[in-house]
Amino acid sequence: MDKSITHGTLTRAAFLSGLGIAVGGSVLFSTKAIVAKLLYRYHIDAVTLIAFRMLFSLPVFAAIAIWKMRTEAPLSSSDRWRIVGLGLVGYYLSSFLDFLGLQYISVGLERLILFLTPTFVLLISSTILKHHIGRKQWMALGISYCGIVLVFLHDLRGGGNVALGAALVTGSAAAYAAYLLLSGEMVRRLGSIRLVSYAMCVSTAACVGQFFLLRPASGLLQPMPVYGLSLINGILCTVAPVFMTMIAVERIGAGTASQAGMIGPVSTLFLGALLLGEPVTSWQLGGTALVLSGIYLLSKK
């Protein structure tokens, strides 16, 4: 940990480096939607795409999991089952629904919907855990969802299964929100690195198992660009942002790191225009501004 933090003060250089890491992690994580769209051009489906993504990220997470197994106290049987559940919900189900939805909607709309995850956490906390939601929080939720509706209505005019894609990605955001709520207590006990590495190994087993159940083994034979893009998807868009976010939280705190993550939807919007030729319209910019405003208000709360 940075010495400046151990002494109770955060120097400007340390803060800026932590902020830069948080922004970089958010941009890299958001880029997975761009990579997925590029992979779909090679006529692979979501089942194959997610299997390759997890296979390329597995060596890193497996190495960390083995290291933690050797250096940390063994898990209880109840913790093992919880990790299996978290891996299936947080990384398998949410990722699979996300990549399925990307077949039907723009990367800009996908990223905006996923960015609503904090609002799903709040809604689940309110309805299931009976936590109170204040008036300002309801206002923040309303502003965010108005932004999504604006972009959704704009994309709907382009035809296609936009409603189906939006529903799938919304399911992805809800699944990840459930993972965040369920993992809170375990993160404090086991540590984020240990929990994520174990959960990602479970998710990989589910994704690869799904592939062999639904697709022939010959589906692993793909053009070289598919392997290259999948490597980027697994390492740069999955492994790197996970650890960059952890480092950023350690340096500048979870609140500031989450606010820095607001760059994600904006970066995806413009990367989609640059790399995929998706148009950036005033509707999209307006919707993005509303979503970011709502999430900012929520993060301040």
Model pLDDT for residues 77-115, shown as the tens digit of each residue: 999 999 999 999 988 999 999 999 999 998 888 888 888
Instruction: Give the sign of the dihedral formed by CA 96, CA 40, CA 217, CA 51.
Output: negative
pLDDT at site 301 = 56
DSSP class of 274? I
Here the tokens at position 160 are 């296609």
How far is 33 from 233, CA to CA, in rounded Å? 9
Model pLDDT for residues 28-87, shown as the tens digit of each residue: 988 999 999 999 999 999 999 999 999 999 999 999 999 999 999 888 899 999 999 999
- Contacts of residue 210, defined as CB under 8 A and 6 or more positions apart, other chains included, come to 47, 51, 96
pLDDT band at residue 151 under the 50/70/90 scheme: confident
Which of 61, 49, 63 has the alpha carbon at shortest distance from 229?
Answer: 49
pLDDT at site 300 = 66
Report whether pLDDT(6) > 60.
no
Report whether pLDDT(296) > 80.
no
pTM, 2 dp: 0.82
CB of 112 within 8 A of CB of 291? Answer: yes
pLDDT band at residue 223 under the 50/70/90 scheme: very high
Here the tokens at position 186 are 């375990």
Mean pLDDT for 134-143 is: 80
pLDDT band at residue 9 under the 50/70/90 scheme: low
Q: Count the Cβ atoms, other than its own, within 10 Å of residue 194.
A: 21
**Sequential DSSP letters for 164-176:** HHHHHHHHHHHHH
How far is 97 from 91, CA to CA, in rounded Å? 10
Helix (H, G, I), strand (E, B) or coil at 7: coil
Q: Where are the domains of the chain?
A: 14-299
CA geometry: angle at 172 spanning 143 and 81, to 5°? 130
pLDDT at site 10 = 62
Which of 239, 237, 223 has the alpha carbon at shortest distance from 27?
Answer: 237
